């Protein structure tokens, strides 16, 4: 009753809202963010354009919400691993493995939004928030492991984590553009070696990773 004229409830739609967003995510991954029109999402979801308008208020808001939904998955998965945080080398390895196995559609979605964020202040804030959330579990794991004596970092924690994340995200373009995709296993070894070097992992804490001790054996 007496809602402002232009103001639509940001939560209209209920279940259909989530349904629509999943389709929006797929469309963005397929066509690119800039090329994603209401008509595309409407066609993909079978819901009228004006209904989408009613749900989200504007195209941009719809896309931002699709972005949020898409990234929540990534962050949640990371937090799940972090919840069992014990600061061990194995945990970090698991986190890296998860990052390296990010599916191509997720990479495409992230790529679209990061690229758009460069020219859009609101998206940039979202991107910054995502970056922080994504890195937090890494930071915690490194800090805990350091306190427990498993790691003797050569650099600031932030730098180590950033370099690790960059190495993971560095896979984005090879993956989405179809270059060199299959050799992820070898890439994994190198990334872990880089991490082990930066953390100066104590040898007694390294067990499962062939590359993990490879930098010690030398």
Partner DNA sequence: AATGAATGAGCGTTCATTCAT
Partner DNA sequence: AATGAATGAACGCTCATTCAT
- Nearest one of 157, 175, 184 to 97, comparing CA atoms: 184
Among 21, 191, 206, 212, binds a second copy (CB under 8 A): 191
141 binds, among DNA, a second copy, none (CB under 5 to 8 A by kind): none
Among 128, 129, 147, 149, binds a second copy (CB under 8 A): 128
Position 18 contacts DNA (CB under 7 A): no
- What is the spatial distance between Cα 57 and Cα 192, in angstroms, rounded to a whole number? 45
* Cβ-contact 88, 208 below 8 angstroms: no
Find the part of the chain contacting DNA (CB under 7 A) among 58-66, 82-90, 161-169, 172-180.
58-66
Identify residues 122-151 at the interface with DNA (CB under 7 A): none
| DSSP line for 138-155 | HHHHHHHHHHTTS---SS
Among 20, 176, 206, 209, binds a second copy (CB under 8 A): 176
- What is the spatial distance between Cα 26 and Cα 194, in angstroms, rounded to a whole number? 34
Find the part of the chain contacting DNA (CB under 7 A) among 31-39, 150-158, 186-194, 198-206.
31-39
Buried b (16+ CB within 10 A) or exposed e, 114-135: bebbeebeebeebbeebeebbb
State in angstroms the smallest separation of the CB of 134 from a second copy: 11
State in angstroms the smallest separation of the CB of 203 from DNA: 57
* DSSP H or E stretch at residue 161: helix 157-169
- What is the spatial distance between Cα 211 and Cα 132, in angstroms, rounded to a whole number? 28
Position 139 contacts a second copy (CB under 8 A): no
Find the part of the chain contacting DNA (CB under 7 A) among 33-41, 104-112, 178-186, 192-200.
33-41
What are the residues binding DNA (CB under 7 A)? 1, 5-6, 9, 12-13, 16, 37-39, 47-51, 53-55, 58-60
């Amino acid at each position: 009753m007496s809602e402002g004229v232009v103001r639509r409830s940001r939560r209209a739609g209920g279940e259909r809202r989530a349904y629509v967003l999943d389709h929006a995510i797929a469309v963005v991954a397929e066509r690119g963010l800039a090329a994603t029109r209401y008509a595309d999402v409407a066609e993909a979801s079978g819901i009228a354009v004006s209904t989408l308008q009613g749900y989200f208020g504007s195209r941009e808001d719809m896309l931002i919400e699709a972005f949020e939904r898409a990234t929540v998955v990534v962050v949640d998965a990371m937090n799940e691993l972090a919840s069992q945080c014990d600061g061990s080398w194995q945990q970090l390895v698991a986190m890296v493995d998860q990052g390296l196995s990010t599916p191509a559609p997720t990479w495409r979605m992230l790529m679209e939004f990061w690229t758009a964020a460069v020219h859009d202040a609101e998206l940039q804030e979202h991107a910054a928030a995502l970056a922080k959330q994504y890195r937090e579990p890494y930071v915690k794991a490194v800090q805990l492991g350091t306190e427990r004596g498993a790691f003797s970092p050569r650099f600031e924690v932030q730098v180590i984590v950033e370099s690790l994340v960059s190495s993971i995200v560095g896979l984005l373009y090879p993956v989405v553009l179809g270059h060199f995709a299959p050799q992820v296993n070898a890439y994994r070894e190198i990334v872990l070696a880089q991490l082990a070097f930066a953390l100066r992992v104590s040898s007694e804490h390294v067990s499962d990773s062939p590359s993990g001790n490879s930098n010690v054996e030398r």
